[in-house]
Structure 1
Amino acid sequence: MKAAVSAVPMKDRILDAADGLFYGQGIQAVGVDAVAASAGISKRTLYKHYPSKAELVAAYLARRTGQAIPFEGTPVEQILGLFDGLARWFGSKRFRGCAFVNAVAELSGERQHPAIGVAAEHKARRLAQVRTLLQGLGVDDPDRLAEQLMVLFEGAVAVSLVRGGDPQVAHSAREAACVLLRSAGVAVDRDARDSAR
C-alpha cells in the first residue's frame, strides 16, 4: 500500500486530499493541517508545493476545470449532453453543488482571492464553448442564447442542491433547453429530447 501511495506525485496527493476536504466540508472549514494530514505529509511539505492556502485553493479549483462535463457529439448533442451529465452528477452520492460557485460564495469577502479568478475563468470558458456551438448551428443571437442556456444549467445545479441531489431537475432543465433551441430555429429531434430519460 505504501508503494502505491508514494508512486503518486506529491502535488497530486496534496490536491487529492484538498479536493475531498474542500469539496466535502468547505474551504473555510478545512485548514492546511487537515489537508496535510489527509495527504500523509507534514504541513511544511505542503507549503513547499503550495506556499499559501489561497494558492492551494486556486490549484484545487484549477484541477477541477479538467473534470468538467465533457463535450461530445454533434453541437446539439453536446449542448444537451451538458444536462445529461448533470442528471448523472445529481444522482451520485458525492454531489454537493458546484465547487466553483461554492468557493466564490465562501470567499465572497475576499474578491482578490486567486480562486475567484479561477472560478470566473471556468464559467467564462463554459459559456464560450456553448456560444461556439451555437454559432456553428447558425442561430441569430448566439451570445444571448448561450447565456440563457447557462442560466438553466447553473440554476439546475442550485435547485438540485437544495433538493438534496434530484436528477429530475436536470431533466426539467434539459427540456427547457430544447424549447430554447427550437425557438432559435435549431432542429431538436425526438430522440435528442428523450435521451436523458
Structure 2
Amino acid sequence: MPELSTPTRERIVAAATKLFYAEGIGRVSVDAIAERAGLTKRTLYYHFKSKDDLIAAYLDGRDQPNLKQMAGWFDAAEGDVERKVEAVFTNLARVARHPKWKGCGFLRTAAELASMPGHPAIKAGSRHKSNFENWLAGELSDRGVDEPQVMAREIVLLLDGAFSVMLVHRNPDYIEAAGRAAATLVRARHRKDD
C-alpha cells in the first residue's frame, strides 16, 4: 500500500531524487539526504523505514513524469507512427546533450542493485519499464501496427540499449541511430489504410 504523501515526505523524495540522480544511490548517504531536505535523520526515518524504501520512492516518483514526457513527445510529433516513435528517441537525444544528464535513473539504479533482484527499487524500475512498454503497445495498436506488444518490446530493447551505450560513450548520436532503427521496424509492420 503506498504511503500517504505529505509535504515533508515530498521534500525528502525531492532531495533524494536530486542526489541519487546526480551521484548514484550508493554514493549518497541518508545524512546527506536529510541535510539537503533541511530535516533531521530521525524525521527522514519517520517517513521512510529504510534507505531502500526511499530509493524505491525516488523511482516511483519518476515513473509518471517520465511517461508523460515521452507521451507528449510522441503526440506532438507530426507524421506517421514511425515518425512519432522516432521523435521519442530524438527528444531523448536532445535531453542527453544537457551537461547534467546522467542517463536513465531506472537503469542506473538497477545496475547498482544487480545483486539484489528483490530490492523494492528493482521492482519500481520493472514497473516503470512495463508501464512504458504497455503504453507504447497501446499507441502502436491504435495506429495499425501489427504485433504491437512485440514491436513495443523491440523498441524498449533499442531504447534501453541506446541508454547503456550512451553512458559508455557519452554520445547521444547512439540514441538517434536507435530511433532510426525503431522507425524502420515500425514502418515494416505498419498497416497503411488504402
Give the TM-score of the pair, scaled to structure 1.
Answer: 0.83
Q: Secondary structure at the match of 2:177?
A: helix
CA distance in 2, matches of 1:137, 1:16: 37
Where does residue 163 of structure 1 map in the other structure? 169
Offset at residue 32 of structure 1 (A): 0.6
Question: Could you give the per-residue CA deviations for residues 133-176 of structure 1, whole angstroms, max 9, x where no partner exists?
Answer: 11112222112211111111111111111122x23222211211
CA RMSD of aligned residues (A): 1.9
- Residue 174 of structure 1 pairs with residue 168 of structure 2: no
- Residue 120 of structure 1 pairs with residue 118 of structure 2: no
Where does residue 32 of structure 1 map in the other structure? 30
Higher mean C-alpha displacement, 35-44 vs 12-21? 12-21
CA distance in 2, matches of 1:152, 1:39: 37
The counterpart of 1:102, out of the listed 75, 99, 108, is 108
**Percentage of matched positions with identical amino acids:** 37
CA distance in 2, matches of 1:37, 1:137: 49
Offset at residue 45 of structure 1 (A): 0.7
Q: What letter matches 1:173 in structure 2?
A: A
Where does residue 132 of structure 1 map in the other structure? 138
CA distance in 2, matches of 1:67, 1:85: 15
Where does residue 71 of structure 1 map in the other structure? 71
How many aligned positions are there? Answer: 179
Any gaps of 5 or more consecutive residues in structure 2? 1-5
Higher mean C-alpha displacement, 82-91 vs 115-124? 82-91
CA distance in 1, matches of 2:86, 2:177: 12
CA distance in 1, matches of 2:93, 2:152: 20
Verify the 8 A CA contact 1:160 1:169 in the aligned structure 2: yes
Q: What letter matches 1:150 in structure 2?
A: V
- Residue 46 of structure 1 pairs with residue 44 of structure 2: yes
Question: Could you give the per-residue CA deviations for residues 28-51 of structure 1, whole angstroms, max 9, x where no partner exists?
Answer: 121211111111111001111112
Question: Could you give the per-residue CA deviations for residues 93-132 of structure 1, whole angstroms, max 9, x where no partner exists?
Answer: 1211111111111112222211111100000010101111
Higher mean C-alpha displacement, 166-175 vs 66-75? 66-75
Q: What letter matches 2:71 in structure 1?
A: F
CA distance in 1, matches of 2:100, 2:134: 27
CA distance in 1, matches of 2:34, 2:43: 8
Q: What letter matches 2:174 in structure 1?
A: V
Verify the 8 A CA contact 1:104 1:119 in the aligned structure 2: yes
CA distance in 2, matches of 1:71, 1:33: 36
Any gaps of 5 or more consecutive residues in structure 1? 1-7, 188-197
CA distance in 1, matches of 2:23, 2:178: 27
Verify the 8 A CA contact 1:86 1:157 in the aligned structure 2: no
Give the TM-score of the pair, scaled to structure 2.
Answer: 0.85
Where does residue 3 of structure 2 map in the other structure? none
